[in-house]
Amino acid sequence: MNVIDIAPSKAEELDQFAGNDMPLGRRLRIWGAISLNLEGKVSIGNAAEIAEMHKGAFEDYLSDHHVPISLLTIEDVMRDVETIRKLDKQ
């Protein structure tokens, strides 16, 4: 059997992200979902599914914990602006 040892600092992160009044399994699920989203591995909608939360509720949760709901970079915004410019010319 594989045993996962959670370091104290990680446990604090779990508390911060998921609230220490939740069962550990639920906290791990939410923490994992947030981590995967922040690492760019899954979309926010997919992260909400992993966390077993509604997308809107998941976004609320992120915002409540000062985790950005958008991972867009400045370059992304510039590209989007250029896209709109192209589309407006069509």
Partner 1 sequence: MKPPIIDSSPIISLAVIGRLEVLEELYSHFCLPVQVFEELQFHLTRHISNAKDLIEALKPRVLILKNALQSERTAPHPGLGERACLVLALETGITNLLIRDKHAKTYAEQQGWFCFGTMALLLSAKKQGLMLELRPYFETFAASGRFYTSQLLNHVLSLAGEQLL
- Enumerate binding residues for partner 1 (CB under 8 A): 40-49, 54-57, 59-60, 62-64, 66-74, 76-77, 80-81, 83-84, 86-88, 90
* Min CB(73)–partner 1 separation in Å: 8
* Dihedral angle sign, alpha carbons of residues 24, 25, 26, 31: positive
**Whose Cβ is closer to partner 1: residue 24's or residue 57's?**
57
* Min CB(8)–partner 1 separation in Å: 27
Q: How many CB atoms lie within 10 A of CB 3?
A: 4
CB 26 within 8 A of CB 14: no
